[in-house]
């Protein structure tokens, strides 16, 4: 983890005007300490404070009355340490060690007094920032402690518990402090926690609050250490995560801005929740503090974030406070929850983590442009020219599905079929057990199949859409530059939205013919469709164990579980 590199970061001193910062810099002295060095000793007289420039430090309470040392937390670049001595606390209250090699800027108490005489406005601004930072730390400590006290405890009792916990310095408080009172995690800490727990695939739409997290992910992806899959909008993210789960059984991290969460709610509810497919949504949470973020849209969207996330996942599966307190704990708890088979959400407020990873401009070498020659080769291999499709005679839906299976069967494919009448027909025809019949999420079929194909390159995946589903998908934009060889897309096109009704649909676009094998099908008489809705039938449910599973967890969750088991074989 390159925490010590020169990088753009949040600093306590960022609030100073450039001219004031320039004056202050003249009173600061650079100091360096090797990892493991104790440079502040508890009980010593305080004679100044440090601004951390590079590296991180560890704050500890010294051993007292036979009790072990207590780690109070960690501070990283941009933070102040020892500032109590500047504003009237003469005795050092804790030991401070260099956790890594550190580079610091030292402001002695003597130089602070000199600054006050020479440039009182600069000293006043520095003091204001120090006080503001101390207030933030106190709020975090109080919130961390009181947030874990039950509602039955009165405010006075809660305050007393906090005071006793802080004062006791016993073994319990040590473990409490290590878990809840530590400094906020960095962007790298958050990503590395997911990686350490086996979450190595991120389906995402970019967001400015999460920019340094994404920068770290981009670099990890270039090194082959994570999958970073960018999709056109938040709506496609859950469907891609479903494909990943079907192919591997692994949960994905789904990152997005909170104003885009409403886009994702469709597939989160109609596919992931309906089929009980686990995953982790990580969203930024704007409008975290009306004093610090006074943008009215941010505040309003932030208010809706609470409602939308809780109504979608349920209160017990939603993590993250609006003030950012306890984010490191919430990330770990959310991963545990998802590993237990649930769909969970983590809301990330800006105060909840530090931006420690270097941001860099996107150079021309890093920007991906569409390779038109490659696109032409893909279109020639995957699509069928419009004129050729129009020359072919119309066929029934059943005839089209049977012909697709006869053509693809030698490749032993796995079919993702959705939404509406096509999956019902696929199940009713009993052509193969290797299917996932998707009854939810109009337009999600291609995204699911793409996620599965990217996750399991050894298996051929076939996406079968109706024409209205195809036009509702966004993933053809991804296929233009990233079309897995093991993915095939078929579109059954009858020009209507209902398949057996009078509602004409939006015509397929030219790129549908270039990226998919389009089959024109006949319309059916309204009311004549003969296949039941998705249920515990079809070849996947040919044995008693599968039918028992459907009775236990429901038809649609059983569809997903059996599909996953077939792919696992």
| Alpha-carbon 59 to chain mean position | 30
Percent pLDDT > 90 in the chain is: 59
Q: Hey, where are the domains in the chain?
A: 12-181, 187-352, 372-534
Whether 12-181 shares its CATH topology with 187-352 is answered no
Residue 153: φ, ψ to 5° = -85, 130
Strand partners, 80: 51
Superfamily of domain 187-352: Thiamin diphosphate (ThDP)-binding fold, Pyr/PP domains (3.40.50.970)
Mean predicted lDDT score pLDDT of the chain: 86
* DSSP 8-state assignment for residue 84: G
The CA distance from 418 to 563, in Å, is: 14
Superfamily of domain 372-534: Thiamin diphosphate (ThDP)-binding fold, Pyr/PP domains (3.40.50.970)
Q: What is the pLDDT of residues 324-373, one digit of tens each?
A: 878 888 999 999 999 999 999 999 988 788 888 988 887 766 777 888 89
Q: Domain 12-181 maps to which CATH number in 3.40.50.9100, 3.40.50.920, 3.40.50.620, 2.60.120.10? A: 2.60.120.10
410, burial (CB in 10 Å: exposed 0-12, middle 13-18, buried 19+): exposed
| Whether pLDDT at 441 is above 60 | yes
Helix (H, G, I), strand (E, B) or coil at 180: helix
Q: What is the pLDDT of residues 505-516, one digit of tens each?
A: 889 999 999 999
DSSP string over 4-39 = TS------GGGGS-HHHHHHHHTT-EEEEE-TT-EE
Strand partners, 417: 437, 464
Global pTM reads 0.71
The whole-number pLDDT of residue 76 equals: 84
Mean per-residue pLDDT, 402-431? 95
Mean per-residue pLDDT, 280-288? 88
Strand partners, 230: 204
Task: List all residues 6 or more positions away from 471 whose beta carbon is below 8 Å from its beta carbon.
Answer: 443, 505, 506, 508, 509, 512
Mean per-residue pLDDT, 252-258? 96
């Amino acid at each position: 983890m390159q925490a010590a590199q020169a990088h753009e970061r949040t600093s306590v001193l960022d609030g100073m005007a450039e001219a004031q910062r320039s004056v202050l810099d003249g009173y600061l002295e650079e100091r360096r300490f090797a990892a493991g060095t104790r440079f502040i000793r508890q009980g010593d007289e305080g004679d100044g404070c440090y601004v951390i420039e590079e590296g991180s430090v560890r704050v500890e309470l010294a051993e007292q009355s036979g009790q072990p040392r207590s780690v109070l937390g960690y501070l990283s670049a941009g933070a102040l340490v020892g500032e109590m001595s500047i504003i009237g606390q003469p005795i050092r209250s804790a030991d401070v060690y260099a956790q890594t090699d550190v580079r610091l800027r030292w402001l002695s108490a003597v130089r602070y007094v000199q600054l006050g005489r020479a440039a009182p406005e600069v000293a006043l601004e520095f003091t204001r920032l120090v006080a503001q930072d101390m207030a933030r730390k106190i709020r975090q400590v109080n919130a961390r402690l009181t947030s874990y006290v039950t509602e039955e405890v009165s405010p006075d009792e809660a305050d007393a518990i906090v005071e006793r916990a802080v004062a006791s310095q016993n073994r319990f408080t040590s473990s409490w402090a290590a878990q809840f009172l530590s400094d906020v995690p960095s962007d790298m800490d958050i990503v590395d926690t997911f990686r350490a727990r086996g979450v190595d695939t991120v389906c995402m739409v970019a967001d400015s609050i999460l920019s340094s997290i994404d920068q770290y992910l981009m670099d990890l992806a270039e090194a082959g250490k994570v999958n970073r899959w960018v999709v056109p909008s938040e709506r496609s993210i859950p469907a891609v995560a479903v494909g990943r789960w079907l192919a591997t059984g692994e949960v994905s991290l789904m990152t997005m801005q909170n104003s885009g969460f409403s886009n994702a709610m469709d597939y989160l509810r109609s596919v992931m929740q309906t089929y009980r497919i686990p995953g982790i949504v990580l969203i930024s949470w704007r409008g975290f503090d009306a004093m610090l973020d006074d943008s009215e849209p941010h505040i309003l969207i932030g208010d809706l974030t609470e409602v939308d996330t809780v109504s979608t996942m349920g209160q017990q599966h939603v993590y993250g406070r609006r003030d950012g307190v306890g984010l490191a704990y919430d990330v770990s708890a959310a991963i545990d929850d998802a590993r237990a088979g649930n769909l969970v959400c983590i809301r990330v407020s800006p105060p909840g983590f530090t931006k420690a990873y270097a941001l860099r401009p996107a150079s021309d070498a890093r920007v991906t442009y569409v390779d038109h020659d490659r696109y032409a080769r893909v279109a020639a291999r995957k699509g069928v020219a419009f004129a050729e499709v129009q020359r072919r005679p119309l066929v029934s839906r059943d005839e089209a599905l049977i012909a697709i299976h006869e053509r693809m069967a030698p490749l032993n494919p796995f079919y993702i079929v959705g939404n509406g009448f096509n999956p019902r027909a696929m199940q009713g025809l009993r052509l193969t057990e290797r299917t996932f019949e998707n009854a939810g999420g109009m337009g999600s079929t291609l995204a699911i199949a793409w996620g599965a194909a990217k996750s399991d390159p050894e298996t051929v995946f076939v996406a079968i859409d109706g024409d209205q589903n195809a036009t509702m998908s966004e993933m053809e934009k991804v296929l233009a530059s990233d079309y897995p060889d093991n993915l095939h897309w078929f579109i059954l096109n009858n020009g209507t939205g209902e398949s057996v009704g009078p509602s004409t649909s939006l015509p397929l676009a030219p790129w549908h013919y270039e990226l998919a094998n389009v089959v024109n099908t006949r319309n059916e008489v309204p009311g004549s469709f003969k296949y039941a809705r998705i249920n515990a039938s079809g070849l996947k449910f040919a044995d008693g164990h599968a039918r028992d599973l459907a009775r236990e967890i429901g038809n649609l969750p059983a569809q997903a579980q059996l599909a996953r088991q077939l792919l696992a074989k």
